[in-house]
Structure 1
Amino acid sequence: MTAGETASTAGMKTSDHDGVVVAVISGELDMISVDGIGTALFDQVDKRPAGLVVELAVDFMGSSALSMLLELNARSQREGVELVIVAAQAAAVRPMMASALSQVLPLAQSVDEAVKLVREERESSEKPG
């Protein structure tokens, strides 16, 4: 690392949309920052909200972030928490497309669309069938 470079950092801000937690991830989601962000997201799932929307507003996303998202998806399914990932920026879309995770993870183009998807999924799973 040169004097002009800084260590990678990622941040997460959460908000509540009538029971659906929206977590916006920013910065660089790499092997240095992914553990902290992953722990914070797993903590959200453990609280069992109506749903969790993760917006990847990142400048960079490495393979460790993809692994964390897969683990988050599995944990959400086990806990009965609807999860939708918002990946609209190229830094998030490219690695998800290249790894074919875009075919595995529930994706949306915007937070509004994701919250709507979570609510629709909750409603359909709560109806007697």
Structure 2
Amino acid sequence: MTSSGTVSAAGTRISRHDDVLVAVISGELDMTSVDGIAATLFDELGTGPGGMVVDLSVSFLGSSGLSMLLELYRRARRAEIGFALVAVEAAAVRPLTASALAHVLPVTGSVDEALALVRQNRD
């Protein structure tokens, strides 16, 4: 929720870089927005892309968002689809670090780094 009391819902913008899907999540990724974002990302993962990069350009990342990212990573690994996160904003870096998920999930500092990691891991 913003300081004015209005809800800032998360949104997802999807693009492709060759066969790698890049999803940019913006806004607040919390229990009120995670279901819609998860459905979109799980559906996209189901299409069998060559890899998936999730750019966390969020203003808030709650525990439900962290759980969704962990499940997305698990599904990608099970399907042998390369996966990486981009986390630059403090709103994404802090919860990933505090939860120790930054040591579990492949986290990078840019989309270019994430694309290189995804491509390297599948070769």
Q: TM-score, normalised by structure 2?
A: 0.95
Which residue does the alignment assign to 1:127? none
Per the alignment, in what secondary structure is the counterpart of residue 85 of structure 1? strand
Amino acid at match of 2:48: R
Which residue does the alignment assign to 1:113? 113
Unaligned runs of 5+ in 2: none
Matched length = 121
Alignment of 1:61-100 (within 5 A): 61-100=61-100
Contact 1:20 1:115 in 2 (8 A): yes
Structure whose CA Rg is larger = 1
RMSD across aligned positions (CA) = 1.1
Unaligned runs of 5+ in 1: 124-129
Amino acid at match of 2:64: S
Give distance in 1, aligned partners of 2:54 and 2:7: 23
Alignment of 1:1-129 (within 5 A): 4-123=4-123
Amino acid at match of 2:68: M
Contact 1:8 1:33 in 2 (8 A): no
Following TM superposition, by how much is the alpha carbon of 1:98 offset from its aligned partner in structure 2, in angstroms?
Answer: 0.2
- Structure 1 segments, 4+ long, off by >6 Å, are none
Q: TM-score, normalised by structure 1?
A: 0.90
